[in-house]
Structure 1
Amino acid sequence: MAITCLIPADDFRHWWRTPKYFGTADAFLTALLLGAFVVGTLVPNLVKHRRHESRKPHVIVSPGQQRVLLWAGRVFLVLALIGYVTWAVAAVTRGYGQQQLHAALTLEQGALLSARTEYLTTLPGITTLTQVGPLALVCLLLDRRISGRRHTLELVVLASFGLARGFFNAERIALMELAVPVIVLAATALPKSRRRQRSILWATLPLLGPLVLAAVFGALEYTRSWNDFYARHSDTNFIGFVLRRLGGYYATASNNSAIVLAHDATNSLIPRYTGQFLWNFPIVRSFVHIDNSATNGAEYSSYLYARYGNLEFNNSGGILPVIIDYGLVGAIAWWGAIGLLIGICYRTMRSGELRGIILYAVIYVGVLEMGMLFYWGLGRAFPVIAGGLITWMLLHRARARED
């Protein structure tokens, strides 16, 4: 929001080829909804809890929960591998071979983009299984920490598929979905160091977050857009391109939120911005129609960006569009409720309970993505959230039986 407010309208047009719509009123609404979210997250943590919480909680696990954890990790691993293998086989049957592989590895111009649209298109319902990979990763890592089983082969295979997906399919968010849970687990379950120097170093690591983000983003953007187009057409060097591009993703997302608020007048029974995963279900897509005279279907947002903004930057922002779904009062209540649920999950995690650690680790990606999109409502997030909730219930039942 700060980037969007500070950058002049002329730079918006020059850098990202879109007029600037985001104004003071939009900034105020964003701050209001963020405030509701923050208040919601604080409520569970202000209530006294029966368990003592430490800065580095001891993971609480019973024998029954340990069995559930192991089997959950194995089941999610198998499902994820089925999705990845099916995706790879489908790509090969479509003609993806040694020539395309060599072109991708040597970073030939346009190779990754053409492969993504021609050979690596998804198979609905099958490739979606790959989305439970983060759950498998979290469960296996926790089981490794608790039981001592190493799961080396499983973790290497899972990480390899994830890295290959991020590179060949130019899918940055897939890498985030694997990396962020590992970081959350490390921040939660690593033993507290007795050396003051290490404690200070660990506490200051988040300050390196922006640098790490820019470095990883730049490495991936090199293969995604710089090598294919902007190396020949950009008016700046690669570092300037990366910073401008990275800032552009966030600035244009907030700007697109203002476009949506001003021009999206669609009427639908299903929330379009917070319930996008529902539109991906074939039955729902067949029976629910978006009433709009200009265009219809889930691509209406793209129509708005093409008309008023820049279709190349098509993130709608994760905060303001909730007003379209529920109105202003409803959006305040919605963000307060989302914050409350995340606060409960965080409190459970800080208490050392497995269910809280697992669920919080995989949903934290949505907190990081709030500036660009409402991640928890995407179709890619539905399997991991559903799987996390099922695991939560199974772990709770296993603990209740033993208590």
Structure 2
Amino acid sequence: MNGNKTDRNGNSGMRIWWLNPTIIFALLMTIILIGAYYIPGDSYLSFYRVNKFINESNIIFSILPVCCFVFGGILAFLAGKGTKPSNALGEVMEKKDSFIKMWIGLLFAFTMFGYAVWFLIMLRNGFSLALFMSVLSGEPGAIYGIKESFDNVAGVTSFTNFGIPFVILTSYYLFYNKKKIYIWMLLAVFLLTMMRALFFLERLAIMEFLVPAAVVYFSMRAKLGRRTPLVGLYPFIGVIALVGFFGISEYYRSWLSYYVNYYPSFWEFIVTRFFGYYVTAINTGTLYFQHLGFHWLPFPNSTAEFVWKFPGVPDNAYESIYGFEPQAMINNTLATMGNPEFNNPSGLLQPYNDYGFGGALVFWVIVGFFTGVLYTHFQKGHTFGMMIYPIWLVGVLEIPRYFYFGSGRFFPCWVIILAFTLILHYNRKKLTSWRLKGVGAGE
């Protein structure tokens, strides 16, 4: 079922359908848009306490960005047919692994520093073991006590996001060096990520760990010609596991404190709420463009969030420069017409707020094309593609909820991966002999 195929250069065709961003995105959005459109308005009010804004006259504005993304992906596929394979990263890992070990050590140290600062802030603000045990025992509202004892320090606690390139690079390296120290390092980051996801309500953090690790693991097995039974079914298994993890976190977050008296069963609550995060995001995004219209901003706001949340940038920077604050209008619309509890703006529809109608469609063609290019480079073994695509796929999966690629948490990740790629290739002659028999020119 996996259909893996390895060519003479050792580069796998990686015919794992769910690794293809165009296919997985089209499937994901089809399911979500069908659900968002056909769920009755009464159910929106009953389950999510918000009016339904999606209707037959505006659903096309959600369908068009999907079509544009897919079109961009097809263009990238056609343009990438002549891309030559590369084995630069593999050669360095095999012949000069001290370079890789140095980067793994640095990324691990940065990640641990971020978590250390995080916990020190919590201790300073009153976090205690008793509060932690209250959460584990299911005391209603206890988890919010943990969250309230934590304040994010921009630029410092963001060091935890260096854990993403650490996971990717270490996962690749374990195929070349099976030393247990690297497994223990991965385990340490995983446990800290689990705590962050459960107790700080950052469930995205666990996806940022598991999805890249899974992409590296299955793609490398395919590249090495190792069969993986039922690999084509793994996305469905992953969804079941994700819903289960979501259920555990929601049990402490909201079930015990409120919804236990509202829903007839815990499982009905979990399925309804999990799917609700996606359909209400589309519904909220529809509310925004329906109420605020399509306007091309002088500089993107929603899709370039990292610029406005960069350490040292004041909260009113956009208004100081351009005389108005687009996010304030969005927040006011949500507070007066939506439900602030379901505040995901939908990354699919956010570009309408930044680029207007036509600009948003062009934007999605570009994003789809760039995504397809990264996937091609990932398949062909190019360093930047191999390093960035595992986390880029997370961003593709998050598009229904929000635009991950423009977020502050993704910014340090792609910067460090770009720096790693440039340094590796700038020093390639020093790091290894670079060319192997039968391998074409490097990147």
Contact 2:68 2:365 in 1 (8 A): yes
Which residue does 2:317 correspond to in 1? 287
Equivalent pairs counted in the alignment come to 395
Which residue does 1:172 correspond to in 2? 203
Which residue does 1:87 correspond to in 2? 118
Which of 361, 364, 373 is 2:402 aligned to?
373
1:139 is aligned to 2:175: no
C-alpha distance in structure 2 between counterparts of 1:139 and 1:124, whole Å: 25
Which residue does 2:230 correspond to in 1? 201
- For structure 1, the 5+ residue unaligned runs are none
Which residue does 1:3 correspond to in 2? 35
1:17 is aligned to 2:27: no
C-alpha distance in structure 2 between counterparts of 1:26 and 1:73, whole Å: 48
C-alpha distance in structure 1 between counterparts of 2:116 and 2:229, whole Å: 43
Residue type matched to 1:42 in 2?
A: I
1:89-125 deviations in whole A, cap 9, x for unaligned?
11111111122122122221111112202x1221111
How does 1:27-46 map onto structure 2 within 5 Å? 27-46=59-78
Post-superposition shift, 1:192?
A: 6.8
Further displaced range: 90-99 or 79-88 = 90-99
C-alpha distance in structure 1 between counterparts of 2:250 and 2:328, whole Å: 25
Contact 2:301 2:326 in 1 (8 A): no
Contact 1:275 1:377 in 2 (8 A): yes
Further displaced range: 312-321 or 376-385 = 376-385
1:348 is aligned to 2:377: yes
C-alpha distance in structure 2 between counterparts of 1:243 and 1:58, whole Å: 44
Which residue does 2:142 correspond to in 1? 111
Contact 1:39 1:339 in 2 (8 A): yes
- For structure 2, the 5+ residue unaligned runs are 1-32, 435-443
Post-superposition shift, 1:240?
A: 0.6
Further displaced range: 175-184 or 22-31 = 22-31
Instruction: Work out the percentage of aligned pairs sharing the same amino acid.
Output: 26
Which of 266, 288, 293 is 1:260 aligned to?
288
Give the 3 Å change call, closer, same or farther, for CA 4–338 of structure 1 in structure 2: same
Which of 235, 250, 261 is 2:263 aligned to?
235
1:358 is aligned to 2:394: no
1:196-251 deviations in whole A, cap 9, x for unaligned?
xx65511222233332232222122112211221112x132101101111121111
C-alpha distance in structure 2 between counterparts of 1:381 and 1:307, whole Å: 30
Give the 3 Å change call, closer, same or farther, for CA 98–284 of structure 1 in structure 2: closer
Contact 1:268 1:290 in 2 (8 A): no
1:98 is aligned to 2:126: no
How does 1:260-339 map onto structure 2 within 5 Å? 260-264=288-292, 269-281=298-310, 282-283=312-313, 285-289=315-319, 296=325, 298-339=327-368
C-alpha distance in structure 2 between counterparts of 1:45 and 1:257, whole Å: 30
Give the 3 Å change call, closer, same or farther, for CA 290–368 of structure 1 in structure 2: farther
C-alpha distance in structure 2 between counterparts of 1:356 and 1:20, whole Å: 40
Which of 271, 277, 284 is 1:249 aligned to?
277
Name the Cα RMSD after superposition. Answer: 2.7
Give the 3 Å change call, closer, same or farther, for CA 297–107 of structure 1 in structure 2: farther
1:51 is aligned to 2:80: no
Post-superposition shift, 1:13?
A: 1.1
- Structure 2 length-normalised TM: 0.82
C-alpha distance in structure 2 between counterparts of 1:144 and 1:221, whole Å: 34
Contact 1:166 1:174 in 2 (8 A): yes
Give the 3 Å change call, closer, same or farther, for CA 70–362 of structure 1 in structure 2: farther
Residue type matched to 2:84 in 1?
A: R
C-alpha distance in structure 2 between counterparts of 1:95 and 1:284, whole Å: 28
Task: Tell me the secondary structure at the aligned position of residue 91 of structure 2.
Answer: coil
Residue type matched to 2:422 in 1?
A: M
Which residue does 2:8 correspond to in 1? none
Give the 3 Å change call, closer, same or farther, for CA 65–261 of structure 1 in structure 2: farther
Residue type matched to 2:104 in 1?
A: G
1:262-305 deviations in whole A, cap 9, x for unaligned?
22368854312201122212335343218999x95744433211
Contact 1:250 1:372 in 2 (8 A): yes
1:167-221 deviations in whole A, cap 9, x for unaligned?
22121111111111111112211147989xx655112222333322322221221
1:186 is aligned to 2:214: no
Give the 3 Å change call, closer, same or farther, for CA 236–280 of structure 1 in structure 2: same
Residue type matched to 2:164 in 1?
A: P
C-alpha distance in structure 1 between counterparts of 2:202 and 2:313, whole Å: 27
Post-superposition shift, 1:308?
A: 0.8
1:160 is aligned to 2:195: no
1:214 is aligned to 2:246: no
1:122 is aligned to 2:152: yes
C-alpha distance in structure 2 between counterparts of 1:364 and 1:68, whole Å: 26
Post-superposition shift, 1:80?
A: 1.1
Task: Tell me the secondary structure at the aligned position of residue 394 of structure 1.
Answer: helix
Contact 1:253 1:371 in 2 (8 A): yes
Task: Tell me the secondary structure at the aligned position of residue 63 of structure 2.
Answer: helix
Task: Tell me the secondary structure at the aligned position of residue 312 of structure 1.
Answer: coil
C-alpha distance in structure 2 between counterparts of 1:319 and 1:110, whole Å: 33
Contact 1:268 1:289 in 2 (8 A): no
Which residue does 2:21 correspond to in 1? none
Task: Tell me the secondary structure at the aligned position of residue 319 of structure 2.
Answer: coil
Task: Tell me the secondary structure at the aligned position of residue 146 of structure 1.
Answer: coil
C-alpha distance in structure 2 between counterparts of 1:191 and 1:17, whole Å: 46
Contact 2:213 2:390 in 1 (8 A): yes
Further displaced range: 33-42 or 284-293 = 284-293
Residue type matched to 1:333 in 2?
A: V
